[in-house]
Amino acid sequence: MSQLIQIQPTALALSKSSAPKPPARQPSVPLGRSRTTRNIALGAMVALLLAATAGAKPNGPNIILCMADDQGWGDMAYNGHPIVKTPHFDQLSKEAIRFDRFYAAAPVCSPTRGSVLTGRHPNRFGCFSWGFSLRPQEITLAEVLKGAGYMTGHFGKWHLGTVYKGSPVNPGASGFDTWLSAPNFFDNDPILSREGVATPFQGESSMIVVDAALEFIRQQAKAKQAFLAVVWFGSPHLPHQASDQDRALYADQKPALANFYGEITGMDRAFGKLRAEVARLGIRDNTILWYCSDNGGLPKVGSTGGRGNKGLIYEGGLRVPALLEWPARFPKPRVVATPCGTVDIYPTLLAATGAQAEQQPPLDGINILPLIEGGASIRSKPLGFWDYPIRGQQASSAALMEELLQLQAKGKQMEDPARLLLDAGRIKPSYPEDNFPGHAAWLDWPWKLHRVQSPENAVKFELYNLQQDSEEVRDLLEAEPERAKAMKSGLESWLASVARSLNGKDYH
């Protein structure tokens, strides 16, 4: 969609789901070809709609979504860290909305990122762990807002598919008009993909993506065009390589900690520049600026908000720092103590903008605007988690982007169907809908029920009162049998729903 195409959000927010459904795919047919057919149909529908809405612009707020990579709840000065310096995050925590209990949908990166874009638990679309992609059938936030007249941009870590041209799961195929993206985490002096073209950069990694995002934001502000900018940092993921400027602040620390803390401070510095420029452009009041992390803290160097760390669905692997600013609607600072999560971002932003998906599959998130405003203090439904026992898939940004750069030097592009993930939408295999392997949990504040199924299918449960025991060490399963029974029923009903989605039943 070009910058000349704008559609009122109240008219009709088109998405992939509004295109005619393709026939059932045969194993030999790459998904990318079916998707092309769907996009042609979608283009025709958009053209018809434009005749009635030409020149219209959305009235909703601008949106900037920022996300750290592996920053735990305690890796913020405002959350009590005694060493790390985060002055810009600290300032925002005092001036806007601070979430005290904000949860990543998964204890690792790719699944959580998928939850942000869909409002759905990532197991619903087979994004089990790091390196797994979105399914092209999923409706993304970028697609819905693009259909509502927003310009959309992605900057930084993608890790939900590829960043190659011609892939059905690159940022452009997922609704982003503009993108400068990395296939995974990235360090200083990275090679990034500018809409499929490998482009080398020099500088601190967080500042590079903020500068790219600001170029996009300035263009939209000048045109008075509503926008979605997704800014996903590559920090503070291993290996930690802080800039000299940021590492120097921690000269009294061991090198590993100095680099770790320095990466967080570098991200804070870039975030401060982003926020200051949004204010300078005069668009701060009607811009939603939302920050969080993709999973809990790292072992050894990170600080978590509870038991465990990245990779576990105890509090330390899921609880993350989160801040939100929208001065036009929330002019005064406040702390939201009710549990919220990354699955809530999608439905909340649709509520804030008035945009809608025509055929919305089941959501796991809720609109949390009433919780932020104080009109509600209890979630309308619990938060579910499910760590499916499938290992992640390796993807080195540095190696993949260097390879693409070398191909380009020869006048070539990536053409391997497997590397392009042309079959990303194929539903395989058939998963049982009454057997739920791995570790799942059901958070119905203040209670959290864990369900752990072994490889031999033995199931055990644990029950904790998080208000009294955030470290999850006092198992109250035997003391609360009726509560545990009710929560078990709710959890297993939700798991069955997720399994049905996983088998593709949301797409019929």
Q: Where are the domains of the chain?
A: 62-379, 438-507
The CATH number of domain 62-379 is 3.40.50.720: no
pLDDT of residue 217: 98
Beta bridge partners of 449: 442, 463
Q: Vertex 105, ends 61 and 386: CA angle to 5°? A: 150
3-state class percentages of the chain: helix first, strand second, coil last, to nearest 5: 35, 15, 50
pLDDT of residue 390: 93
Q: Compute CA distances 218 → 126, 205, 225, 350, 495, whole Å.
A: 36, 20, 10, 23, 44
Distance separating alpha carbons of residues 420 and 439, to the nearest angstrom: 31
pLDDT of residue 220: 98
Distance separating alpha carbons of residues 408 and 504, to the nearest angstrom: 37
What are the tokens at 396?
Answer: 């080195």
Q: Compute CA distances 43 → 106, 337, 394, 472, whole Å.
A: 34, 44, 35, 51
pLDDT of residue 56: 61
What are the tokens at 399?
Answer: 């190696």
Phi and psi, residue 251, nearest 5°: -65, -20
Nearest to 155 by CA among 62, 217, 77, 236: 217
pLDDT of residue 395: 84
Contacts of residue 491, defined as CB under 8 A and 6 or more positions apart, other chains included, come to 384, 440, 441, 442, 449, 451
Q: Cβ of 225: how many Cβ atoms within 10 Å?
A: 16
Please state which architecture CATH assigns to domain 438-507.
Answer: 2-Layer Sandwich (3.30)
Distance separating alpha carbons of residues 326 and 286, to the nearest angstrom: 6
pLDDT string in tens for the chain (508-residue length): 333 223 233 332 333 433 333 333 333 223 333 333 344 334 333 333 333 333 467 788 999 999 999 999 999 999 999 999 999 999 999 999 999 999 999 999 999 999 999 999 999 999 999 899 999 999 999 999 999 999 999 999 999 999 999 999 999 999 999 999 999 989 999 999 999 999 999 999 999 999 999 999 999 999 999 999 999 999 998 899 999 999 999 999 999 999 999 999 999 999 999 999 999 999 999 999 999 999 999 998 998 888 999 999 999 999 999 999 999 999 999 999 999 999 999 999 999 999 999 899 999 999 999 999 987 789 999 999 999 999 998 889 899 999 999 999 999 999 999 999 999 999 987 999 999 999 999 999 999 999 999 999 999 999 999 999 999 999 999 999 999 999 999 999 999 999 999 999 999 7
pLDDT of residue 26: 30
Residue 318 carries which side chain, given as an amino acid letter? L
